[in-house]
Structure 1
Amino acid sequence: MALRTAGSLLVVFLWSVAVVLGQYGWSVTYTTQSICALKGSTVELSCSYTVPSDYTVTTTFWFTEYDAAGPVSLSDDPDYKGRVTYHRDKKNGHTLTITDLRESDSAIYKFRFTDQTGKWRYTGNPGVTLSVTGLQVKVTGRYQDKTLTCSTTCTLTDNPTYIWYKNGTIVKEDTSSLYSHYFSDADSYSCAVKGHEDLHSPAVCKNCWSVTHTHQSICALKGSTVDMSCSYTYPSNHQIKKTFWFTKWSGIDAEDLSSVPGYEGHIEYLGDKKSDCTLRITDLRLSDSAGYRFRLITSGDKFSGPLFSLTVTDLQVKMTTSMFSRWVTLNCGTCTLTDNPTYIWYRNGHKVKEDTTSLYSDYFSDADSYSCAVKGHEDLHSPVVCE
């Protein structure tokens, strides 16, 4: 199993193997039967399978739900659109990758395959139990002598190192999820897991202000939807009067995006009005590229969070040719998309390659044309280029 996030890589090998025995030579072997992963991260679920020598497997997929026709492949489930990929190796191994994990992804995942006749079908039981958790800081103790716990709803599978932040600065790294110290009411504290620092917990404090973004910047595809998430704290003796996002000031205060012409029906505030703040922008336009800030107005003061940078790009194929041959290298896109997508390449309208890299090299003919797209957003592909 491997867990990954943008800009970081954390690999964990689990050698405990759970074998599910089948009848007459049919079986599925899962690498592990239980995984606890962080919300927002990427997880891989792996298995291998066996079939009798006179059968050939033609269909393989993972599922969690059934409909009237039977198990539903995750690749066809709208809740997983653009977030799942399948990888099959030459030795009957199969890996399911789920990106941008959500708490609603917590479920039992099972692998299913079908033979060449379409009549023999086999599902590996009991499957893999995936639990997805966020991080929360829990405070125990009295006065300033308190203990903080970086809490999860399940025990993280990879025995992580916890990182503690005081007012946004790292103060401790330890394999223990506990942190004891002399605490000031004016200080804020949050925690993260090493290798996943961009997925840290909301900050906790008593008499402080803070706005913490899950990411500081995002590159997103024109026409897609983006969520800009953050958490906030404010003095406990204040009451929230208004919260909003803005890009510029108008008059004596910031201008609420929901009142800005052109954003109506284009943005949505998803925060719970207690500590979470998320701005969703749909049908992204190139003009949405800007710096965004979250603002708090309370009964006692006003506070704005740090800048969140959004860059919106369309897909454009850039061609680099060789001086001495017809060999060309093509690049898809103008900035590095934040969600580490799979790129799809088309030659003369036919799919020729899927890869996590945005580069594609080929021997170029004057009669050939090329375009690219991102998996899950095939309707937003680039214009065609040809020589």
Structure 2
Amino acid sequence: MALRTAGSVLVVFLWSVAVVLGQNGWSVTYTTQSICTLKGSTVDLSCFIRYPSWPKVKTTFWFTKMYDVENYVNLKDDPVYQGRVTYRSDKTNGHTLRITDLRESDSAEYKFRFVTDQTGGKYTGDPGVTLSVTDLQVKVTTTWWSTTLTCSTTCTLTGNPTYIWYRNSKIAQKDPSPSYSLYLKTEDSFYCAVKDINSPAVSVEGHSYFHVTYTHQRICTLNGSSVDISCSYTFPSGHTVSETIWYTKGKLNEASQILSPGYGGRVEYLGNMQSDSTLRITDLREEDSAEYKIRFRTDQTTWEPTFPGTTLTVTGLQVKVTPATVTEGQKVTLTCSTTCTLGNNPTYVWYKNGHVTNQSTSLFLNPVSSEDAGRYSCAVEGHEDLPLLKRLSLSHTAQRTPQCQSVPLVK
């Protein structure tokens, strides 16, 4: 591990934890060198820096990319991580990067960099922390006397997790081992989980099995838009699917709601019924937020998977103003906010007095002040025609934090 700077470098390894030392006692120590964790979870990457009383540290940040020499991309400014990254530091010079809603594409080497007020005083802890993001899959191994289910990942999960096996949605086993064995023929459904992250499920029948994979465990999308909720599946030989039925799981004491094609004029079924199915819902409303699941009827049986389906969250857009109270001439930051994280890294469109003023993958509009008087609103590219929320005035005097889509700034 090296601390890159203009001068000489000394590399020291201490108790298998990499410690980086540069000139004059500068150092970066990463808490761990590699982490394997699950898609959809949250991870903390930490390091400690040590430096003399002079020069002073001006800037610190984490990065994975650099476009050219001295052009490092602060993760907070990387559109791929927008809304999913927070930095935290403490009085002992500890620095923590938190990434939420992890994706497999987040797998990378993460490095910490700091800049001092001294000419040339720029340092990077190199190598950094290697993060691997994986999902859970159930692998089925059969012999003539037993079936073994294995909760499989592409890397070894950090922290010796406990694997929880569910049989027909009820906990059947908690164990550090990722395997679960069966010795009797069964058509029960099984899936594994680590904490609150679930695998797709299988239903074992002798040496063949029912298998359903929902394309997404969670979807966040906009009020008034359309969504496709889909899954793919396989059945034991000899089974032909005669009907697929999508439904929402009942809330509390509510009964499940069957979503037949044409239901309310907003529902459509798509896909090849024998191997995949898609539920399309148009003109989404916030009350459509629910868990969506599928059941099947074949020429031999009816099967309703008991494991989790796809959780849909429908959100509106809100403009949030920071700080909540402002004084004359003070700049404020406008944030195009949602109640969940929209997928596919959307482009946000900002309007001033009805005209486009900025388009970016950033949720934030550059700080504005009362000198920039006007009415501001935001939208998501491709959904500019969705209805606006209520309007709220904001002047240079103290105001409550607005939560609306259009905000006028008044001189």
Query: TM-score band (shorter)?
Result: 0.5 to 0.7
TM-score, length basis structure 2: 0.60
Question: C-alpha distance in 2, partners of 1:152/1:291?
Answer: 25
Task: Pick closer, same or farther for the CA change 1:287–1:146 going to 2, 3 Å.
Answer: closer
Task: Pick closer, same or farther for the CA change 1:145–1:300 going to 2, 3 Å.
Answer: closer
Task: Pick closer, same or farther for the CA change 1:34–1:178 going to 2, 3 Å.
Answer: same
**2:260 corresponds to which letter in structure 1?**
A
Structure 1 equivalent of residue 202 of structure 2: 203
Structure 2 equivalent of residue 58 of structure 1: 58
What are the residue-to-residue correspondences of 1:280-291 with 2, within 5 Å?
A: 285-286=285-286, 288-289=288-289
Alpha-carbon offset, residue 128 of structure 1: 0.5
Alpha-carbon offset, residue 34 of structure 1: 1.0
Question: C-alpha distance in 2, partners of 1:103/1:216?
Answer: 14
The more displaced of 112-121 and 165-174 is 112-121
Structure 1 equivalent of residue 260 of structure 2: 254
Does structure 2 retain, via aligned residues, the 8 Å contact 1:16–1:31?
Answer: no
Structure 2 equivalent of residue 114 of structure 1: 115
TM-score, length basis structure 1: 0.63
1:175 paired with 2:205, answer no
Question: C-alpha distance in 2, partners of 1:44/1:121?
Answer: 24
What are the residue-to-residue correspondences of 1:338-353 with 2, within 5 Å?
A: none
Structure 1 equivalent of residue 344 of structure 2: none
Does structure 2 retain, via aligned residues, the 8 Å contact 1:245–1:256?
Answer: no
Alpha-carbon offset, residue 191 of structure 1: 1.1
2:105 counterpart SS class: helix
Structure 2 equivalent of residue 37 of structure 1: 37
**2:130 corresponds to which letter in structure 1?**
T
Structure 2 equivalent of residue 7 of structure 1: none
Does structure 2 retain, via aligned residues, the 8 Å contact 1:185–1:208?
Answer: no
**2:79 corresponds to which letter in structure 1?**
P
2:132 counterpart SS class: strand
Does structure 2 retain, via aligned residues, the 8 Å contact 1:161–1:174?
Answer: yes
The equivalent position to 2:401 in structure 1, one of 349, 371, 376, is 371
1:32 counterpart SS class: coil
Determine what percentage of the aligned residue pairs are the same residue: 54
The more displaced of 210-219 and 292-301 is 210-219
Give the root-mean-square deviation of aligned CA atoms.
Answer: 4.9
Which structure would you say has the larger Rg? 2
1:312 paired with 2:311, answer no
Structure 2 equivalent of residue 377 of structure 1: none
**Superposed CA offset, 1:322-374 (max 9, x none):** xxxxxxxxxxxxxx9566xxx99xxx989xxxxxxxxxxxxxxx95212256x
Task: Pick closer, same or farther for the CA change 1:30–1:228 going to 2, 3 Å.
Answer: farther
**Superposed CA offset, 1:230-250 (max 9, x none):** 675533444679979677xxx
**1:312 corresponds to which letter in structure 2?**
V
Does structure 2 retain, via aligned residues, the 8 Å contact 1:192–1:201?
Answer: no
**2:55 corresponds to which letter in structure 1?**
Y
2:76 counterpart SS class: helix
Task: Pick closer, same or farther for the CA change 1:244–1:42 going to 2, 3 Å.
Answer: farther
- Unaligned regions of 5+ residues in structure 2, if any? 1-14, 249-257, 320-337, 342-362, 371-395
Does structure 1 retain, via aligned residues, the 8 Å contact 2:266–2:283?
Answer: no
Task: Pick closer, same or farther for the CA change 1:152–1:204 going to 2, 3 Å.
Answer: farther
Structure 2 equivalent of residue 356 of structure 1: none
Does structure 1 retain, via aligned residues, the 8 Å contact 2:64–2:75?
Answer: yes
Task: Pick closer, same or farther for the CA change 1:291–1:200 going to 2, 3 Å.
Answer: closer
Does structure 1 retain, via aligned residues, the 8 Å contact 2:36–2:132?
Answer: yes
Alpha-carbon offset, residue 45 of structure 1: 0.3
Question: C-alpha distance in 2, partners of 1:183/1:53?
Answer: 69
**Superposed CA offset, 1:199-245 (max 9, x none):** 33433534665767799988877589989686755334446799796
Question: C-alpha distance in 2, partners of 1:223/1:96?
Answer: 35
Question: C-alpha distance in 2, partners of 1:77/1:139?
Answer: 40
Alpha-carbon offset, residue 38 of structure 1: 1.1
Does structure 2 retain, via aligned residues, the 8 Å contact 1:290–1:311?
Answer: yes
**1:30 corresponds to which letter in structure 2?**
Y
Does structure 2 retain, via aligned residues, the 8 Å contact 1:144–1:184?
Answer: no
Structure 2 equivalent of residue 355 of structure 1: none
Task: Pick closer, same or farther for the CA change 1:233–1:135 going to 2, 3 Å.
Answer: same
Structure 2 equivalent of residue 360 of structure 1: none
Does structure 1 retain, via aligned residues, the 8 Å contact 2:267–2:280?
Answer: no
1:131 counterpart SS class: strand
**1:109 corresponds to which letter in structure 2?**
Y
Alpha-carbon offset, residue 314 of structure 1: 3.9
Alpha-carbon offset, residue 146 of structure 1: 2.2
1:79 counterpart SS class: helix
Question: C-alpha distance in 2, partners of 1:283/1:94?
Answer: 44
Question: C-alpha distance in 2, partners of 1:214/1:262?
Answer: 21
Task: Pick closer, same or farther for the CA change 1:76–1:208 going to 2, 3 Å.
Answer: same
Alpha-carbon offset, residue 40 of structure 1: 1.0
2:24 counterpart SS class: coil
Task: Pick closer, same or farther for the CA change 1:243–1:28 going to 2, 3 Å.
Answer: farther
Alpha-carbon offset, residue 73 of structure 1: 1.5
**2:399 corresponds to which letter in structure 1?**
S
Alpha-carbon offset, residue 99 of structure 1: 0.8
What are the residue-to-residue correspondences of 1:135-150 with 2, within 5 Å?
A: 135-150=136-151
The more displaced of 56-65 and 280-289 is 280-289
Question: C-alpha distance in 2, partners of 1:381/1:55?
Answer: 45
What are the residue-to-residue correspondences of 1:1-387 with 2, within 5 Å?
A: 17-68=17-68, 70-116=71-117, 119-193=120-194, 195-196=195-196, 198-206=197-205, 222=223, 234-238=235-239, 254-255=260-261, 285-286=285-286, 288-289=288-289, 292-294=292-294, 310=312, 312-314=314-316, 337=339, 367-371=397-401
- Unaligned regions of 5+ residues in structure 1, if any? 1-14, 318-335, 351-365, 374-379
Question: C-alpha distance in 1, partners of 2:142/2:190?
Answer: 15
